[in-house]
Amino acid sequence: MSVVDRPITAPVHSEVESYPEHHFLNHSSGFLSWALTLDHKRIGLMYLVGVMSSFALGGMFALMIRIHLWNFKDGWLSNQTYNQVFTLHGAIMVFLFIIPSVPAALGNFLLPVMLGTKDVAFPRLNLSSFYLWVTGLILFLTALSVTGLDTGWTFYTPYSIETQQGGAVLAATFGVFVLGFSSIFTGLNFIVTINTMRPPGMTWFRMPLFLWAIYATSIIQVLATPVLGITVLLLSAERLLGIGIFDPKLNGDPVTFQHFFWFYSHPAVYIMILPAMGIISELMSVHCHKGIFGYRMIAYSSIAIALFGFLVWGHHMFTSGMADVTTIVFSALTFTVSIPSAIKVFNWLGTMYQGTVSLNTPMLYALAFIFLFTIGGLTGLPLGALSTDMHFHDTYFVVAHFHYVMMGGTLVAFLGGVFHWWPKMTGRMFNDKLGIVSAIIVFVGFNLTFLPQFVLGSRGMPRRYATYLPEFQPLHQLSTIGSITLGSGLLLALIVLLMSLVNGKKAPRNPWGGATLEWMCSSPPPHDNFSSAPTVGDPYDFSNIEYDGRVGGYVKRP
Amino acid sequence: MSFFLADQVAPYAWFPEGASSFAPQVDFLFTVILWICIVFFVPIVIAMGYFMWVYRERPGYRGSPEALHNTAIEITWTVVPTIVVVWVFWEGAMGYLDMARIPKGTVDVNVTAKKWQWAFKYENGGEHDVIPVENSSVKELPLLVLPVDRDIKMIMRSDDVLHSFYIPAFRAKRDVVPGRYNYMWFHTTKEGLYDLFCTEYCGDNHSQMNAKVKVVSQEEYKKALDKAIQEPEDPLARGQLLYKRQGCSTCHNAGAEGASGPGPSYNGSWGKPVQLESGAEVAFDENYVRESILNPQAKARKGYGKASPMNSYAGKLKDDQIDALITFIKSLENANSATKK
């Protein structure tokens, strides 16, 4: 790498790469300085700890499920316990991990820094959304663990009304209700921030693609989450007051609940995957040191996915006995979502072409994402097509499909994002070699866990079964072996991150060579991010960013 | 690891053997989709691997930092997948219409789903038989007998929560929704014994809510129908048959048979006092059994009233059938309640 012999001019000050003595982590100290902070970075970090702990908890339950399924009968859990465990796994992963993971944790930290502002538009609303999240989490976990809720994360009626687990359903749905408000507040905050606080020069089409993705996500959060709130309120009203909405015994219709529920929960799938796609757009361009291929198409496709995502909820109900026309229309709409997703994959590949590909930890996670997400997307085709879905619906094929999208997609992108922005967030570099090993173990373990499940599903293995036919046992065992591999890979990733806090090298301002604004402030950023509004250029202009051995990171050549 | 997979995958590849007229359409469409996936996925992975290698960061190499943009190629990779998915959608929708439009002149079967038992009633009013199964957490399953090469229509209702009727070999599935009838049909094409699963989560024993489907020749089907309306003369044998046929065995343990819960065991119950929720005690006699069948909640045993309450059998059992069940339960007077864990 060439050493620049001209003076280094970075936007803020001259001793660019010295580790800042004063930054947001040591700006103030004590418990209250965190508990009452209005700093989006600290709130983001608290969310990060929260969602990662939730993920660890949900992951434990996943391993319990997989170990139980080692034998086709007489596993170590009773039927009832198994049902509670898969409910806990699904509910924790969806409501406490995937939905808040990228927007609330990474989004909170990065959005204002990427915009070159001091904070989000409503810092107090931001803190309150975190407290709502914590409240929802406590309510939800208490309900789930104390009362043994066993409805699955979908709360399908009439089972959720009939089930004799006391107030479990009420408490859990109230938890979901509170979590929903946390989500709405975050979304609202981000929309206002992006609309009103972009710095001079940052037009819509000069915004980093991560922000486009967060923006699209926020729109879904604000528009769709209230429907979930209404649904769980109606469910509670039905249980408490016995009004007939969903319960056939009271002249209600259980399928109505499914319409309500999926009207939120399908767009929620895009709350999960859109920010992940945003992360991948950033990672691909930065680690290929090359402008993103087809910027506008990626930006438009985020919005297209957000809009189409509202119109496809019916595909969760193809076998429920909806009218034929409705079913066919939902099938057609479902396929419309596949096109913008495909475009993104092609664009990311186009970005690699003729670039300079740094094969480091975040990039390997990004490449794993492309591989896994492509499988997840393609296996959506036989589920979107009606006649094949009649066979695959509610089988392990669906389980494998959505794990490829949600876990292979969102989780892997989230990990890539955490590794990518870890030096910025903590000021420490992690051990890249061990990080790469973790990415490879996660990738192998993931495929070993979920590829066999496609075969299980197409042979007719139904989902949510505590016992199964003996002929399915070898594939289940393969999947269990994979899940343990996957678990150890994830554990290694966590160890690599935590080790960096102990003995990691101090991070330079710009360790990867990014061109977006967060790489222009120190690592970790100062309390108020930028002392003056930074100049905004093309977020994907890498032509004058070069490695400088003296600082161990990238610098901008004038 | 490869031998491990090969052994399992080779005999039946992706699908179980097809046994209805839907199977060829579904299998064809899936195979085409599979090839479409391969045609998209393999080049994507090859391109990714190639770019990873050729453009990897290394001393003395610096790639272009310029963002690329190529309208022609972007239009191509938008339009080609669009055409492909339109075809997949069309083919799937046409196949679905075939599944949704029920022809005339079908053989009808009434299906009742309840936690956690399938019940089938034939056109002559006869009820399903049971078949012993090995290597399973249950000893026997309901057996649905169907004639080969006929259009069969299922008229399905649920007594409690959502269930879903799924026969993988027929590539057919339909939810069973309480409060309404849902219908499905298929045309059987091959004699054999097939699995039937509940695929909509319905609680504790969801994974045991299975059945077997036996597709037989017309003559055998007629014989099965005749047998279906017969009940043995002997009240004890009749009670034992009803215990299985009516689904008592899915919750109540009798002798060494039946599930160990959630209902109380019949073993050694007869004649003993029963503790009720209210604290009262009643005798376990003919009247108690009869009332517990017709109105299970009236005198629910302590600890059994709230969790997984039993449904009423009023209108489903004739008086002499209840008598037969009483005879059966009476016969277990001295059975050891610890026969089963």
Q: For A400-434, write each residue's pLDDT tens digit.
A: 999 999 999 999 999 999 999 999 999 999 999 99
Cβ-Cβ contacts under 8 Å, A85 against chain B: none
Q: Is residue B222 part of a domain?
A: yes
Residue A102: pLDDT band (50, 70, 90) is very high
Mean pLDDT of A38-47: 95
Q: Is the pLDDT of residue A54 over 60?
A: yes
**What is the per-residue pLDDT for B337?**
54
**What is the per-residue pLDDT for A221?**
93
Q: For A128-156, write each residue's pLDDT tens digit.
A: 999 999 999 998 888 877 878 888 888 88
CB of B177 closer than 8 Å to CB of A49: no
CATH at B136: 2.60.40.420
Contact B51 A342 (CB under 8 A): no
Q: Tokens for B235, please give them.
A: 């009240």
**What is the per-residue pLDDT for A143?**
83
Q: Are residues B220 and B118 in the same domain?
A: yes
Q: Please give the Cα distance from A469 to A131 (Å, whole number).
A: 46
Burial class (CB in 10 A: 0-12, 13-18, 19+), B190: middle
Nearest-neighbour CA in chain B from A175: distance (Å): 22
**What is the per-residue pLDDT for A241?**
85
Residue A321: pLDDT band (50, 70, 90) is confident
Q: Which residues pair with B145 in a beta bridge?
A: B214
* A239-A242-A243 Cα angle (round to 5): 115
DSSP characters over A481-539: HHHHHHHHHHHHHHHHHHHHHHHPPBPPS-SS---SGGGGS-SSPPTTS-SSPPP---T
The residue out of B192, B213, B228 marking a domain boundary is B228
Q: Tokens for A405, please give them.
A: 């999208």
Residue B255 Rama label (left phi>0; alpha psi -120 to 50; beta): left
> What is the rounded (10 degree) CA torsion for B174, B177, B182, B185?
20
DSSP characters over A62-119: HHHHHHHTTSSSS-SS-HHHHHHHHHHHHHIIIIIIIHHIIIIIIIHHHHHHHHT-SS
**What is the per-residue pLDDT for A185?**
95
Q: Is the pLDDT of residue A225 over 80?
A: yes
**What is the per-residue pLDDT for A6?**
38
Q: Give the pairing of strands B192-198 and B163-167.
A: antiparallel
Which of A2, A352, A388 is the best substitution to test chain B (most B C-beta atoms within 10 A)?
A388
Q: Please give the Cα distance from A541 to A547 (Å, whole number).
A: 15
Q: Are residues B83 and B133 in the same domain?
A: no
Q: Are residues B153 and B184 in the same domain?
A: yes
Q: Is residue B203 part of a domain?
A: yes
CB of A224 closer than 8 Å to CB of A263: yes
Q: For A515-553, write each residue's pLDDT tens digit.
A: 999 998 888 999 988 877 788 888 999 988 888 888 888
Which of B241, B255, B260 is closest to B130 using CA atoms? B241
CB of B331 closer than 8 Å to CB of B252: no
The residue out of B208, B228, B248 marking a domain boundary is B228
**What is the per-residue pLDDT for A3?**
39
Cβ-Cβ contacts under 8 Å, A289 against chain B: 57, 63, 65
Contact B96 A352 (CB under 8 A): no
Question: What total of structural domains would you count in chain B?
Answer: 3
Q: Is residue B127 part of a domain?
A: yes
DSSP characters over B116-174: TEEEEE-TTS-B-EEEE-SSSSSSEEEEEEEETTSEEEEEEEESSS-EEEEEGGGTEEE
Q: Is residue B7 part of a domain?
A: no
DSSP characters over B200-246: S--STTGGG-EEEEEEE-HHHHHHHHHHHT---SSHHHHHHHHHHHT
Mean pLDDT of A59-85: 93
**What is the per-residue pLDDT for A515?**
92
Q: Is residue B221 part of a domain?
A: yes
**Fold of the domain spanning A40-556:** Cytochrome C Oxidase; Chain A (1.20.210)
Mean pLDDT of B138-147: 93
Contact B63 A248 (CB under 8 A): no
**What is the per-residue pLDDT for A8?**
39
Residue B318: pLDDT band (50, 70, 90) is confident
Q: Please give the Cα distance from B6 to A14 (Å, whole number).
A: 63
Q: Tokens for A552, please give them.
A: 């161990």
Which of B9, B17, B22, B64 is the best substitution to test chain A (most A C-beta atoms within 10 A)?
B64
CB of A224 closer than 8 Å to CB of B147: no
Mean pLDDT of A17-32: 81
Q: Give the pairing of strands B210-216 and B140-147.
A: parallel
Q: For A232-243, write each residue's pLDDT tens digit.
A: 888 888 888 888
The H or E element that residue A354 is part of is none
**What is the per-residue pLDDT for B11?**
47
Mean of pLDDT over chain A: 90
Q: Is the pLDDT of residue B39 over 50?
A: yes
CATH at B317: 1.10.760.10
Contact B29 A355 (CB under 8 A): no
Q: Please give the Cα distance from A426 to A522 (Å, whole number).
A: 11
Cβ-Cβ contacts under 8 Å, B95 against chain A: 385-388
What residue numbers bound the domain in which B191 lies?
A: 107-228
**What is the per-residue pLDDT for A166?**
58
Q: For B282-316, write each residue's pLDDT tens digit.
A: 888 888 999 888 888 888 888 787 767 788 888 88
Q: Are residues B88 and B148 in the same domain?
A: no
Q: For A153-197, write each residue's pLDDT tens digit.
A: 888 888 888 776 657 788 888 888 899 999 999 999 999 999 999
Q: How many contacts, defined by CB atoms under 8 Å, are there between A and B?
A: 298
Contact B52 A464 (CB under 8 A): no
Q: Are residues B180 and B250 in the same domain?
A: no
Q: Are residues B162 and B221 in the same domain?
A: yes
Q: Are residues B221 and B130 in the same domain?
A: yes
Return the residue of B nearest to A255 by Cα.
Answer: B177
Q: Please give the Cα distance from A355 to A289 (Å, whole number).
A: 6
The residue out of B228, B255, B283 marking a domain boundary is B228
CB of A429 closer than 8 Å to CB of A423: yes
Contact B136 A540 (CB under 8 A): no
**What is the per-residue pLDDT for B231?**
81
Contact B204 A346 (CB under 8 A): no
CATH at B90: 1.10.287.90
Kindly state the percentage of chain B with pLDDT values over 70: 94
**What is the per-residue pLDDT for A13?**
42
Residue B5: pLDDT band (50, 70, 90) is low
